Homo-oligomer: A and B are copies of this chain.
Amino acid sequence: MRTDERAAAKLRATIFDVARHAGVSIKTVSRVVNNEPNVREATRDKVRASIDALHYRPNAAARGLSAKRSFVIGLIYENSEEFSYTKDLLSGVLGACETHNYSLLLRPLTLPSAEVSHSIHSFIRLTAAEGVVLPAPIGDMPEVMQVLSGLDVPVATISPKHPRSADISVYCDEADATFRLTEHVLALGHTHIGFIKGHPDHRASHERLAGFTQALQTNKIGLDASLTEDGFFTFESGRQAAFRLLRRERPPTAIIATNDEMACGVMHAAHELDLHIPHDVSIAGFDDTAVASRLWPPLTTVRQPITEMAEAATSRLIQRLIGDEPGAPEACSPGLFPCQLVIRRSTAARS
């Protein structure tokens, strides 16, 4: 018997083996495997039993070849130093891929680079990815979007500057989060607050600044524009901005950096100036990266549900690929997610 031969040779059972075992045709097995209609329930059970008995798993290559689909999702991300964002991202995207039986292929990008377009083009051609997930700031790069739309590949963006630019996009209410973060600082008695902006290419930068100014307005605190410094989401830019702020004649009693990396830089600057945190200056960050809880004092910050956002974006992307009715509940899942304020000891009442 051929089936036995296979088993003896440790070969995987094929759809033919299952069909023979169940006494049906391969097409019926195929129907069962793919949850297609038009199979009597009894037949379906019989086939399922055979599948279990033979430990049958469909061959991905054959399936892809025949169906002209790759069942591959591509994740294109910036291969930056800070990795906890990517870690959470990966968890979410991978989770969604697994539940939908898709494979995930990675394409890290080292920015800035002149070869981005080419790199992405060959990535798509080679992997035949059916759709790609683009976390910030990749989803905001015009050349990337151009290549992708030229290749006719559906895209899901995470935290893009312009939600409308992609087929699917998810983001956070970062303005609201920064608003709440600022109110927390204000509630501690600080009125002279330094603010370090993020890289202008990120949606996040504008959102966060907006939330900050909004909070000042709401609380009737005049905005001192000179207390708002440029930053680029890097450690060193945060450190430099902090030096500028802390060496002022009348330095701020609290500094809000728009990400944890820069908040680290602020802490270093404060230490270098022999300032005590939070006694002399309160410090807050944004992102709740792994370092935030490791610093001393632990950093007050904001956590975004990155994993959930990534999972939602990917699920919606796959649903679109499969062609599910857009009326399905998941397809309508909101693109806007809430952030969570994480208060630690780096912020304290004004002394």
- B61, B290, B297: the one contacting A64 at CB < 8 Å is B61
A60 within 8 A of B: yes
Closest to A101 in B: B126
How many residues on A have C-beta within 8 angstroms of the other chain's C-beta atoms? 43
Give residues of chain A (285-327) contacting chain B, Cβ–Cβ below 8 Å. 290-291, 294-297
Contacts of A117 in B (CB 8 A): none
A264 in contact with B79 given A65-B65, A108-B94 (CB within 8 Å): no
Give residues of chain A (52-101) contacting chain B, Cβ–Cβ below 8 Å. 55, 57, 59-65, 70, 79, 81-84, 86-87, 90-91, 94
Q: A60-B61, A83-B87, A103-B105 are in contact. List 11 more A-B contacts (CB 8 A).
A: A57-B125, A59-B128, A60-B70, A61-B70, A82-B290, A83-B83, A87-B87, A103-B127, A264-B294, A271-B297, A291-B291
A243 within 8 A of B: no
A contacts, CB < 8 Å to B: 10, 12, 55, 57, 59-65, 70, 79, 81-84, 86-87, 90-91, 94, 103-106, 108, 125-128, 152, 235, 264, 267-268, 271, 290-291, 294-297
Contacts of A104 in B (CB 8 A): 105-106
Report the Cα distance A82→B271, complex, angstroms.
Answer: 25
Contacts of A128 in B (CB 8 A): 59-61
A79 touches B91 (CB 8 A): yes
A106 touches B94 (CB 8 A): yes
For A70, A83, A105, the residue with the greatest tally of chain B CB atoms inside 10 Å of its CB is A83
Report the Cα distance A244→B150, complex, angstroms.
Answer: 62
A108 touches B86 (CB 8 A): no
Contacts of A64 in B (CB 8 A): 60-61
Nearest-Cβ distance from residue A95 to partner chain B, whole angstroms: 9
Report the Cα distance A55→B150, complex, angstroms.
Answer: 15
A290 in contact with B81 given A60-B128, A61-B70 (CB within 8 Å): yes
What are 30 A-B contacts defined by CB distance under 8 Å? A10-B152, A12-B125, A55-B125, A59-B65, A60-B64, A60-B70, A60-B126, A60-B127, A61-B64, A61-B65, A61-B70, A61-B128, A65-B65, A79-B91, A81-B290, A82-B290, A83-B84, A86-B87, A87-B87, A90-B106, A94-B108, A103-B103, A103-B105, A106-B106, A235-B294, A264-B294, A268-B296, A271-B297, A290-B291, A291-B291
